Structure 1
């Protein structure tokens, strides 16, 4: 089986096999290409797009590195078996598959599996080389896992480094200091746009990405505290996910880097201590903070907010821990109000998201009073000890015609993830009051409801019909469905 995969990589033969019998074996009847009238009529560009959509999950450049991958699957993935099968259908398909560099642009390599593969590492390297060569000069998407130098990690990285000028989207998972093996790429990354590093060793001394004129997205996850040197002023998106509970100072300090004014930062922090946090001023426009404390009752949000200032913040998201040990983030109202005043959120903030916090409806109203520029409000009952989305909250969100009488008068997007602890009548009174005012910028009111598994009731057919009717009439954009994160 594995030998035949490798021989296909080097073979120029073009056996003709019916599309529905690519794996049926030598007894399958031979069918000529002329019988595929539809495919013969399709332009080459459309056929190539179809071929590209045939990639199995994980080989399309998304979530390719997985603990569930087997050594046998790793071999098929490296050989691009689905492309080799397509190339055997007809001579035309063979020419298109083998002669279209774009189809070979994605390379997913997990050397942690290689010692258990049924074929030698020499052949596995040749499979990677074949894909790189067939990709010609097309920009590359790479997902690479290397565990140590003995697992052929350095050999694979050195091979990929010879094509560094083609790197566009790159994800490294590493359990050793891989930057030592990729030092040669410094200054040779003209196309690199997105970089993701999942690390267990420290990349603090790594400066190979310092010169990357198109780099705009950086994601760093893992236990190690430090991140490589990058051109911070270029970044549009920075995500930092730390599992280290003793590492809260470093990620907060990163916010003070010279980000551009339109940058977005997303921090996920687990901590046991928030003592003596130094002040940090950040000029990012969008900030998302997910905080988890190993002691569920620990008040961590207040000290973090006390050290932060965002003079130009447009979007803010505050969330509690999510995952196996998920729990609500204790809310500390006075700290938030001081943070809002210090950051001038009254004039800058247009989007607010709160999820998995203990904030209650009256406290949220107190926050909204100082956020008159809000356009988007995204809130959730998830894991809260008390309902946040209540009749009391919706009543206070009803738009009032008197100037200055309404909370968040410019609101035109509201997303509620809820246990449905509110009445139908109050919800529709709130929505109806907002339909006209929401058109202040030429848009329609977007009203979304996602219900949680622990909801207190079902939405009635009358409720749903009213929302969908208003949508059809062009008055609102309405969504009602189970919470997508819980389905």
Structure 2
């Protein structure tokens, strides 16, 4: 592939003995004998007159450098091509879509929640890796059944562009989840976000809600009477000034945990249907009032 003509060394190259004698004289810092000085003068004149040894060496070096660069480029291209070929044979390409979807779901579950991004952004990132992954992610509703929204994702960010973007992502995720049951963790009081989730209340299965005041829950009012699938509800509210009756009709609700001052203001479902009723950080008199 890389042929070259033989390089002809200069005829004026010294022998080892000649080179050694010159070095020895240089170390003495003395004037060389007349016969050696005469020989050196003749040599220099000869080089200047007709020998192109140094120039030939420079040309040869330039040619070799070009060939080395070309060889290095070819090596890199070949290595990349071989890597691509090996990639076509990786086991993950042979996995059925349903197995791939379960891997994605597991990967999302073990990721720490990033306060600066909605966790569902992980799914959008996966969908951009390969076209097949995009098909699996976008075509598997169960991957979109768990949504976590923190205050920092919405009103806490104080960034209206971020809030609008996150609302669009949440709307997309809710639509992509089709009719799958929803598992929600909401620690936001942003009205537009809560009203968006209320539109999908018929899909709620497990819901964790964290609010500062009970009147913030009223943004979920559209969910009242539309909770056919809700089984687990966790409510934390630091303050309670407004009565909450959104959850009093939830025929499948079995586990209810209430924390904070909300107990005295909530209209619970019939207690007989509950298997678990938990109360944290509450006034005992509130428990007596409910029971």
Q: TM-score, normalised by structure 2?
A: 0.63
Q: Is the 8 A contact 2:258 2:280 kept in 1?
A: yes
Match of 1:169 in 2: 206
Alignment of 1:308-327 (within 5 A): none
- State the shift of 1:132 in Å: 0.8
Deviations 1:268-299 (A, max 9, x none): xxxxxxxxxxxxxxxxxxxxxxxxxxxxxxxx
Which residue is 1:179 aligned to? Answer: 217
Kindly indicate whether residue 164 of structure 2 is the aligned counterpart of residue 126 of structure 1. no
- Which stretches in structure 1 are left out of the alignment for 5+ residues? 1-27, 148-152, 257-487
Question: For the residues of structure 1 that align with 2:178 and 2:86, how far apart are their CA atoms?
Answer: 28
- Contact map agreement 2:187 2:210 (CA 8 A) in 1: yes
Q: Which structure has the larger Rg over C-alpha atoms?
A: 2
Whole-angstrom CA distance in 2 between matches of 1:225 and 1:213 = 20
Name which of 142, 153, 158 aligns with 2:184.
Answer: 142
CA distance in 1, matches of 2:268, 2:242: 7
CA gap 1:42/1:57 in 2 versus in 1, 3 angstroms: closer
Residue-by-residue CA offset, 1:438-474 (whole Å, 9 max, x unaligned): xxxxxxxxxxxxxxxxxxxxxxxxxxxxxxxxxxxxx
Residue of 132, 138, 154 corresponding to 1:92: 132
Gaps of 5+ in 2: 1-79
Distance 1:58 1:233 in 2: 38
Q: Per residue, is there more strand in 1 or in 2?
A: 1
Distance 1:39 1:181 in 2: 44
User: How much has 1:36 moved relative to structure 2?
Assistant: 4.7
Tell me how far apart the structure 1 counterparts of residues 137 and 86 of structure 2 sit (CA, whole Å): 15
Flag the 1:194–1:37 CA change in 2: closer, same or farther, 3 A: same
Cα root mean square deviation, aligned = 2.7
Matches within 5 A, 1:440-479: none
Task: Tell me how far 1:234 sits from its aligned partner.
Answer: 1.0
- Whether the 8 Å contact between 2:256 and 2:274 is mirrored in structure 1 is yes
- More relative contact order, 1 or 2 (CA 8 Å, 6+ apart): 2
Instruction: Name the SS for the 1:130 alignment partner.
Output: helix
Q: Distance in 2 between matches of 1:32 and 1:117?
A: 48
Residue 211 of structure 1, CA deviation: 1.4
Q: Summarize the Cα distance change of 1:141–1:218 in structure 2 as closer, same or farther, 3 Å threshold.
A: same
Going from structure 1 to structure 2, the CA distance change for 1:209 and 1:88 (only over 3 Å counts) comes to same
- For residues 206 and 241 of structure 2, the distance between their equivalents in structure 1, rounded to whole angstroms, comes to 19
The number of equivalent residue pairs is 207
Quick one: structure 1 residues 142 and 201, their matched pair in 2 at CA, closer, same or farther if it must change by over 3 Å? Answer: same
Structure 1, residues 165-210: CA drift from partner, whole Å, max 9, x if none? 1111111111131332111111111111111111023276222111
